[in-house]
A and B are shown apart, each in its own frame.
Chain A
């Protein structure tokens, strides 16, 4: 009797787990393995951090699985409500948000959430939906509306102030617009306008944001303050050399010279202990993740799924590039985690959903063929 049950159970399990795309799962799994190993070293002195990290990973896989189960058509139906809810929450934040560490980013809707995080997924969803709806007749007006849809939430986020998340949402939306075929001329025009706008933007930045940018240009101007983080993480990376100091042997990390060493700066801990070889492997893993995502986009059947898949893949790229760039001292320090490496529940939720949606698009590529 037990025998028959077992036989009956296996196909069910198989069916449910079949939603996982093998190559994506494998890549994410490998990055997570690297993350877990690094977290053991970086998390020394943070009681309970490992347990929380494992919990985050499991949560991420759960959401990945759920997202993978949802067909793209359903996602398309959800795009507008999610987007509108996100914008509404952002407006709510601006009005009655909770202030922590000088920034108004959170809102209490039963639980305290950070609506700007929702926009990371909601933005590409919405814009992909928008272009899908206008498919075949995409004129400059459509791009103008898309620009408006993008700029409103981004402005709200930057005002919080949260330059990091604002930039990420901006990038996610822009990828959709770009992939939808924004003309090169307009892009060049935007670039020129952006350059002209720079001095104005400089004035609109908060002091601490200007400070970060100045610190990037010359970290030694403030070696004990803001520059300290960059200098110390550069020392960590540099002193790792080609082969690294070895697991659990990084002095910079273990002696607490690296700030935020389990979150935004975990790459410095990894790089110190595993060296250039470790870095190359990690870069390759991210390249594979992004590449796989772009391939899914290229083969996706509808404009919506193509744009969505492309934008999500590039979201991973933005995360990874901005994070490693700032930790190694070529980009300003903004609060961007390293995908599937940094400790933090919010990021794992967003990333899990992102990968899940990619899987869903991939799985439904034939079903949706029109």
Chain B
């Protein structure tokens, strides 16, 4: 009986507990239902919006980058389509190294590809895709596509690549594009329409590619696609097309450019040739040069080290950034200043003993015993230093400065490239500003003497020298030099010329100009340039120059032979032709090559031969060398002028 009662009580007890549990179950389910109501009714709108955001992704359609062509339509920069293998690190299911190892079975991946990937990955955001291999072969594409399911976060992309078919030719003008870095991102943010760069992963880094970035880039389009969580597009819902970037038509004549580059051979230097009437830059040479194709997909470490540490500084844009004393090429302008300021007449002559005493310092001429009686014509044709020592002293530094400034010396030419250097056109005011110590701030009269022959504080860029000689050739009408002649719409083929009207006119008397021009025309005939321009078949005008090399610091560690070479003088030549109706004006500098007549003038000759006559040397380097006068390095260690 107690047993039964006990069981009965136990059953009652159990059922009570069961009811408690049942109530608990009920409450828990009620909580779930409340949760569902909260998600599906109260916050329904938010979640629908988020689901739509998830589903639809606006994919930017990157426009084709504009081409770069020379004045005759030769392509200097173009695009071609190829496949890349790209990894999005944030979407990987397994460690990156493992993925790359597995990929390398299907697609060739070299150690340098891995290194480059690592560097690009450091710069990229985590959710961006970074290329591990570019320019896949069709077989590689097929092999990967078959195995794609094994690699979430790895995709093959068809992309346009930038290519510079002429390689090293005019590399400093064209520049190159490269992958957008953190620094470029700031540049993009400062642009008017930063969203235009959504989807773009390359940007102009140097040269015209950088300067004309916004024109070359074009307008980014969009595509609305339905995407999976893995980011794979399922189908396209809507699209708005991209507008391709505009083409740049350059003023360069790439044949002329090639001839000059070859004429330099292994030597360092620069040449800028300008059409004086328009400001068109016809050739813009900086030697040695480099292959811009190396930079597009990220340069490998070895190539970079080679370029960056080479004593020849191939990456240096010499016409724009290299500054050199003009040497004797400065003399024609000095002569013109003397005429304009009434300090000399053309026939007024001095007796040259071969030196000029100033205080207790003897300024030497390079011709021992002097040039005898020297008038203005002879001073230019024979490049007499004594004549200009005296003249410099008579004019004074500030008068020289004021006269030279409008020619563009020590001024920005305003060419369409970034980072142009001003160089130094000295004046008393300049010296006060440039130095800190009071005794250095003072201008000493003795310092004016060497200015007369283009030495001293004077340093100008080859571009400025070419610009100045073009201004003289153009009788003082200043045209701003430019590399881009026209901008072409790739669709309508409509060309918009960029040519600026004349900048200003230098106030000069034509008769004075004619005196100087006559002397310049004498140089290639009976003067210092006669050897290089023998049997030219056209009348040209020019002026040789030799400038002291000041580039190497004493304490820099170079080997002895290299050291000696870098201390040799620079060889310069400025010229225009034909002498009466100039169509080309140019400045050449060959670094550490000695006399202007020796190395620079032959290169000028080849350039003008081609431009005026269409003459094309079989081997420009040999042709230039043939005309080059071999001069010993020690023959003119301290000599100024030619």
Contacts and interface: CB of A to CB of B under 8 A. Distances in A.
Interface of A: 135-136, 175, 178-179, 181, 224, 232, 234-242, 251-252, 255-257, 271, 275-276, 279-280, 283, 286-287, 290-291, 294, 297-298, 303, 306, 310, 314, 317, 321, 324-325, 328-330
B612 interface: no
A13 B501 CA distance: 105
A251 B41 contact: no
A191 B550 CA distance: 87
B130 to A, nearest CB: 17
A291 B41 CA distance: 28
A173 to B, nearest CB: 15
B32 interface: yes
A236 B25 CA distance: 25
Contact of B36 (A276, A298, A303): A276
B431 interface: no
Contacts of A287: 25-26, 29
B28 A306 contact: no
Interface string B2-30: 01001000100111011001100110110
A279 B15 contact: no
B32 A255 contact: no
Given A224-B90, A310-B21, A317-B28, A242 B226 contact: no
Contact of A328 (B39, B46, B226): B39
Contacts, number: 122
A314 B25 contact: yes
Contact of A240 (B13, B15, B40, B229): B40
B558 interface: no
Given A241-B41, A314-B25, A179 B51 contact: no
B47 A321 contact: no
A295 B126 CA distance: 56
A234 B39 contact: yes
Interface in B33-57: 33, 35-37, 39-41, 43-44, 46-48, 50-51, 54-55
A239 B50 contact: yes
B40 A294 contact: no
Contact of A251 (B14, B40, B51): B51
B31 interface: yes
A321 B28 contact: yes
A287 B26 CA distance: 8
Contacts of A239: 44, 47-48, 50-51
Q: Closest 6 interchain pairs by CB?
A: A238-B47, A239-B51, A238-B39, A239-B47, A257-B229, A256-B229
A82 B579 CA distance: 112
21 contacts: A179-B17, A181-B13, A224-B90, A224-B127, A235-B51, A235-B54, A238-B43, A238-B46, A239-B51, A242-B41, A252-B54, A255-B227, A255-B234, A276-B37, A276-B41, A286-B29, A290-B25, A298-B18, A314-B25, A321-B29, A329-B35
Nearest to B234: A255
A249 to B, nearest CB: 12
B301 interface: no
**Residue among A235, A291, A294, A329 with the most chain B CB within 10 A?**
A235
A279 B41 CA distance: 13
Nearest to B14: A306
A236 B227 CA distance: 16
A297 B20 CA distance: 14
Contact of A255 (B18, B39, B228): B228
A146 B25 CA distance: 24
A280 B43 CA distance: 18
A248 to B, nearest CB: 15
**Residue among B14, B41, B43, B48 with the most chain A CB within 10 A?**
B14
Contacts of A136: 3, 6
A186 to B, nearest CB: 14
B35 A330 contact: yes
Contacts of B43: 238
B230 interface: yes
Nearest to B15: A298
A326 to B, nearest CB: 11
A295 to B, nearest CB: 9
Contacts of A321: 25, 28-29, 32
A43 to B, nearest CB: 16
A294 B41 contact: no
Contacts of B6: 136
A294 B39 contact: no
Contacts of A283: 29, 32-33
Given A252-B51, A275-B40, A310-B21, A179 B14 contact: yes
A235 B15 contact: no
Nearest to B26: A287
A237 B48 CA distance: 10
Contacts of A241: 40-41, 44, 48
B25 A317 contact: yes
Contact of B32 (A232, A257, A297, A328): A328
B54 A255 contact: yes
Contact of A297 (B18, B31, B127, B227): B18
B27 to A, nearest CB: 10
Given A257-B229, A328-B36, A294 B47 contact: no
A102 B242 CA distance: 49
Contacts of A252: 51, 54
A104 to B, nearest CB: 21
A101 B44 CA distance: 37
A256 B228 CA distance: 6
Given A238-B43, A251-B55, 4 more contacts: A241-B48, A256-B229, A256-B230, A294-B21
A276 B40 contact: yes
A44 B32 CA distance: 28
Contact of B55 (A181, A224, A255, A330): A255
**Residue among A135, A255, A329 with the most chain B CB within 10 A?**
A255
Contacts of A236: 51
**Residue among A237, A286, A297 with the most chain B CB within 10 A?**
A237
B36 A330 contact: no
A293 to B, nearest CB: 10
A328 B35 contact: yes
Contacts of B17: 178-179, 181
Contacts of A242: 40-41, 44
Given A235-B54, A255-B229, A297-B18, A279 B40 contact: yes
**Residue among B13, B28, B37 with the most chain A CB within 10 A?**
B28
Contacts of A235: 47, 50-51, 54
Nearest to B36: A279
A332 B347 CA distance: 102
Interface string B227-248: 1111000100000000000000
A280 B33 contact: yes
A27 to B, nearest CB: 15
Nearest to B53: A235
Contacts of B47: 234-235, 237-239
A298 B10 CA distance: 11
A286 B32 CA distance: 12
Contacts of B90: 224
Nearest to B232: A256
A143 to B, nearest CB: 14
A181 B13 CA distance: 8
A178 B19 CA distance: 12
Contacts of B46: 238
A128 to B, nearest CB: 12
Nearest to A252: B51
Given A238-B40, A276-B37, A317-B28, A178 B21 contact: yes
Contacts of B35: 325, 328-330
A159 to B, nearest CB: 27
A100 B354 CA distance: 95
Contacts of A328: 32, 35-36, 39
A181 B17 CA distance: 8
Nearest to A231: B50
Contact of B229 (A135, A232, A237, A330): A232
